[in-house]
């Protein structure tokens, strides 16, 4: 009887303690600030609650009674306004400094911002001397200026917008391929192949005392990849739709606005096709899907470019999305160029490679919207391009997508699946031994197939209107420049 009473008492005490702990937890949670991103706070999440935001000061203005801050953490173009008592002002609270702010999120009485943070505590996490900081408050810096500071330019509105757009465009491209049945393949960065045949390769060699004898680490010469296409062709022998999205490298000695030594490529390969239309459909559909996604999910960031960096370019983007992409042959392109009154720096005869000036003219001629150019001269294309066998001109089943402001965006072709023709061309080029494995792909279960590659940075240039390719990649690498 006494033992039972003790158990009841023990249970009652435990319950009481448990309730007290639970009550304490509820009380603690109520007063502990909820950590929010700036974008969440701006959306009105946790309105009226005690919150904490962490970010960088984009502006600071002190008055007699209050100090006003705008804090940004990279989650949105718009910053969160913070209002604090002048007692919380700190000499270290400057433009560019990193802060942690705790307070009550309230509706703002001003129309310029939906909410504001009534600060109860401000902690300066990282100091920033505004005199030495290369970006100045309330000053709009051009892309060329901020390019001088690759380690700091992500702090600017323009470049942080670019990085958010780039991230969203990357997600959209992956989503397009996933929704359409493509399998993503991680093709290697180090390879023994020169897919383009241009010879502009970075050779990979080990360094250090253990490799002083100069022997090839891989027993064969190895290079940074210029394309994942040949590896995708391997995979296309088992998967009808495959793609890759990753860095590629060209040792092109150029500092032009169009070229980088390291850039990103979207490449796709489709099996069981004998039609360039199958390729052009994927190119056009992917372009539309990704662009519409970016316009819908990065409204403020895209507007920053179209209003302040490249005014008027939004009309060009809208026209690209509204119209179907026309298709012309290389022969028709040459005829258009030769009939033109424009004076070109490079020849426009049959058999010449189309230069940027030609590509941009063709785009304007076709209504300043993307245009496909097909059936190039056979000798202009790599060994893997399919021979149309259309004598006497002899063309290849190849296609380029030309876009406004950029020129070539995509390049693709049907692949030569006929073993005898492919073997003859490799033998003619002296590559039959090097690409014996490639011939095996045609010997064992080969099917007609084709694919293309899209320059991701050029795509961003196209939809944003940015003139220099160095301004659409986080850390540009080009000849005589490899900062960071």
Pairing of strands 241-249, 183-184: parallel
pLDDT recorded at residue 27: 43
The superfamily CATH assigns to domain 35-137 is Nucleic acid-binding proteins (2.40.50.140)
The superfamily CATH assigns to domain 153-471 is Bira Bifunctional Protein; Domain 2 (3.30.930.10)
For the chain, give every domain's residue range: 35-137, 153-471
Global pTM? 0.90
Q: What is the mean pLDDT of residues 307-331?
A: 96
pLDDT recorded at residue 198: 57
Mean pLDDT, the chain, integer:
90
Q: Extract the tokens encoding 401.
A: 């997508």
Pairing of strands 66-72, 50-62: antiparallel
Q: Extract the tokens encoding 309.
A: 């960096």
pLDDT recorded at residue 195: 61
Pairing of strands 50-62, 34-35: parallel
pLDDT tier, 393 (very low <50, low <70, confident <90, very high otherwise): confident
Residue 238 has pLDDT above 90, yes or no: yes
Dist CA 181 CA 75 (whole Å): 31
Dist CA 427 CA 326 (whole Å): 37
Give the whole-number percent of the chain exceeding pLDDT 70.
92
- Burial tier of 457 (Cβ tally within 10 Å: 0-12, 13-18, 19+): buried
Question: Of the candidates 443, 435, 373, 379, which has an alpha carbon nearest to the alpha carbon of residue 408?
Answer: 373
Got the DSSP string for 242-289?
A: EEEEEEEE------SSS--SEEEEEEEEEES---HHHHHHHHHHHHHH
Dist CA 211 CA 216 (whole Å): 9
Dist CA 134 CA 262 (whole Å): 27
**Would you give the DSSP letter of residue 98?**
E
Residues 30-81 pLDDT 10s = 578 999 999 999 999 889 999 999 999 999 999 989 999 999 999 999 999 9
| Contacting residues for 341 by C-beta, under 8 A, at least 6 apart | none
pLDDT tier, 138 (very low <50, low <70, confident <90, very high otherwise): confident
pLDDT recorded at residue 438: 95
pLDDT recorded at residue 30: 54
Q: What is the mean pLDDT of residues 292-303?
A: 98
Higher pLDDT, 479 or 332: 332
Fold match flag (35-137 vs 153-471): no
pLDDT tier, 12 (very low <50, low <70, confident <90, very high otherwise): very low
Give the whole-number percent of the chain exceeding pLDDT 90.
79
Find out whether the peptide bond into 102 is cis, omega within 30 degrees of 0.
no
Residue 6 has pLDDT above 60, yes or no: no
Dist CA 103 CA 48 (whole Å): 10
Question: Of the candidates 369, 380, 444, which has an alpha carbon nearest to the alpha carbon of residue 405?
Answer: 369
pLDDT recorded at residue 7: 41
Residue 194 has pLDDT above 90, yes or no: no
Residue 4 has pLDDT above 60, yes or no: no
């Amino acid at each position: 009887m006494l033992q039972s009473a003790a158990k009841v008492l023990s249970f009652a005490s435990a319950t009481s303690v448990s309730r007290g702990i639970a009550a304490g937890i509820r009380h603690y949670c109520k007063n502990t600030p909820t950590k929010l991103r700036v974008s969440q706070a701006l959306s009105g999440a946790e309105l009226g609650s005690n919150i904490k935001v962490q970010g960088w000061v984009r502006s600071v203005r002190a008055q007699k009674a209050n100090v006003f801050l705008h804090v940004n953490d990279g989650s949105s173009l718009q910053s969160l306004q913070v209002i604090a008592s002048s007692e919380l002002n700190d000499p270290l609270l400057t433009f560019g400094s990193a802060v942690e702010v705790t307070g009550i999120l309230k509706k703002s009485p001003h129309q310029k911002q939906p909410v504001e943070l009534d600060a109860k505590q401000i902690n300066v996490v990282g100091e920033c001397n505004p005199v030495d900081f290369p970006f100045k408050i309330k000053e709009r810096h051009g892309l060329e200026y901020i390019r001088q500071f690759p380690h700091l330019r992500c702090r600017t509105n323009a470049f942080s917008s670019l990085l958010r757009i780039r991230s969203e465009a990357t997600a959209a491209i992956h989503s397009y391929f996933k929704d359409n049945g493509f399998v993503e393949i991680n093709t290697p960065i180090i390879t023994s192949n020169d897919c383009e045949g241009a010879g502009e390769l970075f050779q990979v060699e080990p360094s250090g005392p253990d490799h002083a004898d100069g022997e090839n680490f891989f027993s064969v010469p190895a290079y940074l990849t210029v394309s994942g296409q040949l590896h995708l062709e391997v995979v296309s022998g088992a998967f009808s739709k495959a793609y890759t999205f990753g860095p590629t490298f060209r040792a092109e000695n150029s500092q032009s606005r169009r070229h980088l030594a390291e850039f990103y490529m979207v490449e796709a390969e489709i099996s069981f096709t004998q039609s360039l239309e199958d390729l052009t459909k994927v190119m056009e559909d992917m372009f539309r899907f990704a662009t519409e996604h970016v316009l819908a999910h990065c409204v403020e960031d895209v507007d920053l470019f179209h209003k302040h960096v490249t005014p008027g370019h939004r009309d060009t983007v809208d026209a690209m999305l509204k119209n179907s992409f026309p298709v012309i042959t290389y022969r028709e392109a040459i005829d258009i160029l030769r009939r033109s009154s424009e004076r070109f720096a490079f020849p426009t005869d049959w058999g010449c490679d189309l230069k940027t000036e030609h590509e941009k003219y063709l785009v304007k001629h076709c209504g300043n919207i993307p245009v496909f150019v097909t059936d190039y001269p056979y000798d202009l294309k790599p060994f893997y391009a399919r021979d149309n066998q259309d004598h006497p001109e002899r063309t290849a089943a190849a296609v380029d997508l030309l876009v406004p402001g950029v020129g070539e965006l995509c390049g693709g072709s049907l692949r030569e699946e006929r073993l005898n023709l492919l073997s003859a061309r490799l033998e003619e080029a002296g590559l039959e031994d090097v690409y014996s494995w490639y011939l095996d792909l045609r010997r064992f279960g080969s099917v007609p197939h084709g694919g293309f590659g899209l320059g991701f940075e050029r795509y961003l240039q196209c939809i944003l209107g940015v003139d220099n390719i160095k301004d659409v990649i986080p850390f540009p690498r080009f000849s005589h420049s490899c900062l960071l």
